[in-house]
């Protein structure tokens, strides 16, 4: 009996060891400074819509996930260098990005708008914006859009995150920005310190202009050699949308639906 018990313990240990060794672990990158979608709280924990969605996605994929914080401009280079398995910060598809990485299903539709002083009445043309000082994020589609549409007629300062831009707007070091409408409404316009600012210029799609309106949105990304991983991520996210878990998580941080697929979970 003793020898049988020993063999059982050895077998159980072997099975456990093999399971531990074979357990899948993925590393995702996240910006960490894109409220309300990603925030590092006062306790140092990464939270917000996207980290919490990513953690639930990993549970449904039955994988162990680490989410590491890095500057937005470093996310795609780190992914391509195979330091990350994927990026769980929303990325707008541009032709240049689509040539390098594989985009998953849209998880948010968040068009851009101009953020300007409430007492201004700019014409959003080369002449109308001449010498208006803009702040934009490094490596962003918004900076590319401004360059393509207005050339060097507008001076631009570059930042690592939206909070840096917000602080310089309030300090008067820059006059305007072009950025995600939902973020700027929640993080500046709707707050007391935002009373002298407004969103202007309508909704602007700064992603791939060839995409039909019904397919526009920002997504999480993987390398082009990781199509199977993208499919698994999409399947997990689709199940989260179907049972309204996506919406329950989103509602903790954002009061309105961020993607049409949520509509069946939102009370009229």
pLDDT tens, position by position, 15-52: 344 444 457 899 999 999 999 999 999 899 999 999 99
Indicate the class that CATH gives domain 112-204: alpha beta
Q: Which CATH number fits domain 25-108+216-265: 3.40.190.10, 3.30.413.10, 3.40.50.12640, 3.20.20.20?
A: 3.40.190.10
Q: Tell me: the pLDDT tens digits for 195-227?
A: 999 999 999 999 999 999 888 999 999 999 999
Which position has the higher pLDDT, 80 or 14? 80
CATH 3.40.190.10 location in the chain: 25-108+216-265, 112-204
Report the alpha-carbon angle 44-47-48, nearest 5.
Answer: 140
Q: How far apart are CA 39 and CA 58, in angstroms?
A: 19
Residue 10 has pLDDT above 90, yes or no: no
Close Cβ partners of 228 (under 8 Å, ≥ 6 residues apart):
none
Distance from chain centroid for Cα 181: 13
Question: Reading across the β-sheet that carries 218-223, which strands appear in turn?
Answer: 64-69, 25-30, 86-91, 218-223, 101-108
Beta carbons of 50 and 71 less than 8 angstroms apart: no
């Amino acid at each position: 009996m003793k020898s049988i018990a020993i063999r059982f313990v050895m077998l159980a240990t072997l099975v456990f060891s093999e399971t531990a060794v074979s357990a899948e672990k993925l590393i995702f990158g996240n910006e960490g400074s894109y409220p309300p979608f990603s925030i590092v709280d006062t306790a140092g924990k990464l939270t917000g819509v996207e980290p919490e969605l990513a953690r639930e996605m990993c549970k449904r994929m039955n994988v162990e996930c680490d989410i590491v914080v890095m500057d937005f401009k470093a996310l795609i280079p780190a992914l391509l260098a195979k330091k990350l398995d994927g990026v769980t910060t929303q990325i707008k598809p541009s032709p240049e990005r689509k040539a390098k990485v594989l985009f998953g299903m849209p998880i948010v539709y968040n068009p851009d708008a101009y953020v300007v002083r409430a007492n201004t009445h700019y014409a959003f043309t080369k002449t109308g914006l001449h010498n208006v000082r803009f702040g934009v994020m490094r490596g962003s589609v918004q900076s590319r859009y401004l360059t393509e549409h207005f050339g060097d007629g507008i001076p631009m300062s570059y930042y690592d995150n939206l909070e840096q831009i917000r602080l310089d707007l309030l300090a008067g070091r820059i006059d305007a920005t072009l950025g995600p409408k939902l973020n700027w409404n929640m993080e500046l316009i709707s707050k007391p310190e935002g009373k002298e600012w407004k969103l202007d210029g309508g909704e602007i799609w700064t992603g791939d202009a060839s995409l039909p309106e019904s397919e526009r949105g920002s997504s999480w990304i993987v390398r082009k050699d990781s199509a199977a991983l993208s499919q698994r991520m999409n399947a997990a996210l689709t199940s989260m949308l179907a049972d309204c878990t996506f919406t329950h998580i989103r509602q903790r941080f954002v009061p309105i639906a961020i993607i049409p697929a949520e509509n069946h979970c939102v009370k009229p």
